[in-house]
Structure 1
Amino acid sequence: MSGAPLHISVDHGLATVTIVGSGKGNALGGTFWDDLRDFMETVRARDDIRAVALVGEGDTFSVGMDLRWYVVRLRRAERSGTPTFMDDDVRRLQHAVTTVADCPKPVIALINGECTGAALELVSACDIRYATRRARFSLPEAELGVVADLGGLQRLPLVINQGHLRELAFTGKTIDAQRAARIGLVNDVYAGSAALHDAARTLIGDLSRHPAHVLEGIKRVLGETHQEGIRRGLGQCAHWNSTHTGADGLRHAMTARLDAMAP
């Protein structure tokens, strides 16, 4: 494994972004967020890319936020005495996820294994979600004493109904691929990774029959109605966690979670 938090390859119009992250289980930390943002912002100008697929390296999509990485950031923030650090940093991560939602070309999530927390919020910004039978989904931020704040609470209501979303957010429970398909979280479930990638290649073949400006127009029209509400909701989440939990409270909760996870 290289030190890069994501690997990118382009084949027959499909840009595959493989998430490696900064820790075990393709944890999302380090330069991942900035690298994702930078790549997604270049996609608009690349004629060789008709669609983007996000996939995790190996047998896991992502375990979510890299808590070890973020605890270090919170310690630095406490030492610096920067009162707006948590608010500002969350908005930076939110922006990275928003570049996925705002990409003018279709974005597909190919989900195998665990898709937890920030990873589920990330795939909520995708247009289409395919999963293997091994896929598992959860939104456990409440266990850390925070409100999920990277866009899941704003975008998932456009995908699943409020009852299912509230159950996921309130309880932090894990659901399997079959239930995810029943509630509309994923479009289809496949036997394994090979079938998942075959489905993505079939989809890019279907998309390639249509002009790129038409696909962009569809995305823009579908998204425009909800943009203002999503923007307000993201700001509210960032402010709520900053004022109600704070950097010190989140650091202690993340440290306790890491201790509980230690062998």
Structure 2
Amino acid sequence: MSSDNNNSGVTFETLEISRPEPNSRVFHVTLNRPSTHNSLTPLFFTELSAAVSSLDADPRCHVIVLASSLSSPFFSSGLHLPSLSSMLTSSSSSPPSPAHASHRLLLSIRSLQDSVSSLERCSKPVLAAVHGGCIGGGVDLITACDVRFCTREAYFSVKEVDVAITADLGTLQRLPTIVGYGNAFEMAITGRRVGAEEAKAMGLVSRVFDSREELIQSVNKIAEEIASKSPLAVTGTKAVLVKSRDTSVDQGLDYVATWNAGMLMSSDLKEAVDAHLKKRKPVFAKL
């Protein structure tokens, strides 16, 4: 892959930005701390927000693939527990009162939530490519993505209940809309491992691949196909789907009508129609 680690002028320590090919419109954000099984530290959350924000604003980027280093047996082992302990200690360090300590912790949690939500807020589609274990905070990450794929040996676990905390970075809010309330409740309350085939059956992942290499190659192919389409249509589709998930049908219809009233008369539409009539591949303008 072609490395774009300095894409935003920043060198990342916990992740890497790259492209399958130098001119590809698909960018990979790869969790890159295999020595810690890609556990999620405060620095990771800061860098994730910066990376996603940079790619969202980059006209070269049409699709993002969230993956992890293939040398790790985990997509992510979840929150880095020593960092979590440090965050709790810091929040309660010499506060004027318990209420002040709680307020500090609230701000810390909201900051982590905002980082995970950056994946959902990103105007470009985000595809998750999961191999190995996807635990705790890893599930928070992938449920904030738009589509999920995995290898046959992948497994998923909402593990927070086993370390005496309530999952608070988005899993309990997003997972029920993906797999249904009953499946989400059972996963969250037991913390058990859900294998790849079960995950596909409940709708957590769309496809299962036999190996890590096949996963990355296939997800790249899907991402490139998406990237070849009108970026205005793709970003509009994501925006409407995300908005409609949390609204009534009438509200969703009103939102998409308003969206298309502003976007429908685009050069992309003219180009798509002309390309179709002339049986050629369309060439769309960058965002």
1:205 to partner: Cα distance: 2.6
1:87 to partner: Cα distance: 1.0
Cα distance in 2, alignment partners of residues 119 and 46 from structure 1: 25
Structure 1: tracts of 5 or more residues without a match: 229-263
Cα distance in 2, alignment partners of residues 192 and 185 from structure 1: 18
Q: Which amino acid aligns with 2:224?
A: G
CA 1:75–1:22: 2 relative to 1, 3 Å: farther
Cα distance in 2, alignment partners of residues 188 and 150 from structure 1: 25
1:149 to partner: Cα distance: 0.8
Q: Is the Cα contact below 8 Å between 1:5 and 1:22 reproduced in 2?
A: no
2:207 alignment counterpart: 188
> Would you say how many aligned residue pairs link Structure 1 and Structure 2?
228
Cα distance in 1, alignment partners of residues 244 and 113 from structure 2: 19
1:91 to partner: Cα distance: 0.4
Q: Which amino acid aligns with 1:56?
A: S
Does residue 124 of structure 1 match 2:143? Answer: yes
CA deviations on 1:69-93 (whole Å, 9 max, x unpaired) are: 1212222222232421221111000
Does residue 218 of structure 1 match 2:230? Answer: no
1:114 to partner: Cα distance: 0.5
State the TM-score, normalized to the length of structure 2.
0.75
2:84 alignment counterpart: 70
1:55 alignment counterpart: 67
Does residue 133 of structure 1 match 2:142? Answer: no
The structure, 1 or 2, with the larger RCO (C-alpha pairs under 8 Å, 6+ apart) is 1
Q: Is the Cα contact below 8 Å between 1:22 and 1:28 reproduced in 2?
A: no
1:204 to partner: Cα distance: 2.1
1:159 alignment counterpart: 178
State the TM-score, normalized to the length of structure 1.
0.82
Cα distance in 2, alignment partners of residues 149 and 227 from structure 1: 19
29, 32, 52: which one aligns with 1:40: 52
1:199 alignment counterpart: 218
Structure 2: tracts of 5 or more residues without a match: 1-10, 248-287
1:123 to partner: Cα distance: 0.2
Aligned-CA RMSD value? 1.9
Q: Is the Cα contact below 8 Å between 1:21 and 1:29 reproduced in 2?
A: no
Cα distance in 2, alignment partners of residues 76 and 201 from structure 1: 41
185, 189, 194: which one aligns with 1:175: 194
Query: What is the SS of the residue equivalent to 2:156?
Result: strand
